[in-house]
């Protein structure tokens, strides 16, 4: 049971990243691969801050700014140099690997016995304490994002994703929307990396590899739930991301618990994501949706 509880706690740490992926991919329709790099960047900045005994009140803004800078770099390459969105993200992600390694100076930084977010004690039970802290953080993020997406800026962001030509014709500078949007979403991704680093007790240079696939899988599950129940409310859409990321991590945990080789985990992750992506187009799903 603890195994599944750990999966849920990890899922909750992944949630800010999945919220970021949901906004880039589903709200303003930008395929951002920077995630793999900005996730590790957040973890690296967090590890450096904690290992240098900086207070969390200083570390958190630096994490958010580092993620934002990664997002801005991708957006600038795309909007100013007219490089394809996918390629822009890949370029920044690749560059960030070197940046992260240079910042760390080695491939791994342990964070055991250091003060972290999870050192704040709300209740004595350690795991329940982590659960409450992450739920509190996610609640704040969802309230903030819901407000943002309902604001005039959020409206422009959503319209940019829906039809860029139309929203440009209405007088929106879509390049600015993309720059600010990617800054926000990569801040979320970096923050998620920092949460996971604190949860698992170390930062590793390879911790971000393929993370975008996990995020994508969670977002796809959320999308399937949203479509199945025809959820229109933005705040409920964002809440569905929590369901998506928890289900995704529980499936992976179940896969490991039945004794499947851990080396095959990435393959299974890809197959599971493929299944989830294909599900909304299946006859079974359409039958359920119509009924």
The residue ranges that bind another protein (CB under 8 A) are 152, 155-156, 158-159, 162-163, 165-166, 168-173, 175-176, 232
Distance CA 226, CA 239 (A): 10
- When computed from its CA atoms, the radius of gyration of the chain, rounded to whole angstroms, is 19
Please report the sign of the dihedral spanned by the C-alpha atoms of residue 135, residue 137, residue 143, residue 145. Answer: negative
In the complex, minimum distance from the CB of residue 171 to another protein, in angstroms, rounded to a whole number: 2
Q: Among residues 199, 279, 158, which one has the least CA distance to residue 17?
A: 199
Nearest approach, Cβ of residue 233 and another protein (Å): 10
Provide the minimum distance between the beta carbon of 158 and another protein in the complex, in angstroms, as a whole number: 7
Residue number with CB closer to another protein (13 or 157): 157
* Phi, psi at 75, each rounded to 5°: -65, -40
Select 147 or 254, whichever has its Cβ closest to another protein: 147
Residue (of 257, 2, 1, 252) closest to 127 by Cα position: 2
CA distances, 100 to each of 34, 51, 145, 166, 283 (Å):
13, 15, 28, 39, 45
Minimum CB distance to another protein smaller for 107 or for 151:
151
Q: Are 22 and 9 in contact (CB under 8 A)?
A: no
The label of the residue with tokens 């350690």 reads: 126
Nearer to another protein, 129 or 176 (CB): 176
Task: Please state, in angstroms and rounded to a whole number, the distance separating the CA atoms of residues 230 and 113.
Answer: 46
Contact 116, 58 (CB under 8 A): no
Minimum Å gap between C-beta 165 and another protein is: 7
Least distance (Å) between residue 78 CB and another protein: 15
Min CB(25)–another protein separation in Å:
16
Instruction: Considering the complex, state which of residue 163 and residue 270 has its C-beta at the smaller distance from another protein.
Output: 163
What spatial distance separates the first Cα and last Cα of the chain, rounded to whole Å?
A: 36
Q: Which is nearer to another protein, 2 or 152 (CB)?
A: 152
């Amino acid at each position: 049971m603890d195994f599944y509880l750990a999966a849920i706690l990890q899922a909750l740490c992944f949630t800010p990243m999945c919220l970021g992926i949901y906004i880039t991919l589903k709200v303003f329709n930008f395929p951002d691969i920077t995630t793999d790099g900005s996730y590790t960047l957040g973890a690296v900045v967090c590890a450096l801050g904690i290992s240098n005994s900086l207070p969390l009140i200083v570390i958190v803004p630096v994490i958010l700014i580092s993620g934002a800078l990664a997002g801005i770099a991708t957006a600038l390459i795309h909007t100013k140099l007219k490089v394809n969105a996918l390629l822009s993200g890949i370029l920044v992600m690749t560059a960030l690997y070197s940046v992260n390694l240079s910042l760390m100076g080695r491939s791994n930084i342990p964070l055991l016995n250091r003060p972290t977010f999870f050192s704040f004690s709300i209740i004595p039970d350690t795991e329940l304490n982590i659960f409450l802290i992450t739920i509190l953080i996610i609640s704040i993020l969802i309230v903030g994002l819901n407000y943002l997406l309902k604001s005039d800026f959020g409206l422009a962001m959503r319209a940019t994703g829906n039809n860029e030509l139309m929203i440009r014709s209405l007088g929106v500078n879509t390049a600015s929307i993309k720059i600010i949007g990617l800054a926000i979403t990569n801040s979320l991704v970096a923050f998620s990396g920092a949460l996971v680093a604190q949860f698992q007790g170390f930062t590793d240079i390879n911790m971000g590899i393929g993370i975008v696939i996990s995020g994508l899988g969670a977002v796809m599950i959320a999308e399937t739930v949203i479509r199945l129940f025809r959820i229109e409310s933005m705040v409920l859409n964002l809440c569905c991301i929590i369901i998506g990321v928890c289900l995704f991590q529980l499936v992976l945990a179940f896969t490991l618990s039945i004794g499947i080789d851990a080396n095959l985990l990435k393959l299974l992750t890809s197959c599971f994501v493929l299944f989830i992506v294909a599900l909304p187009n299946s006859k079974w799903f359409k039958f359920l949706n119509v009924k």
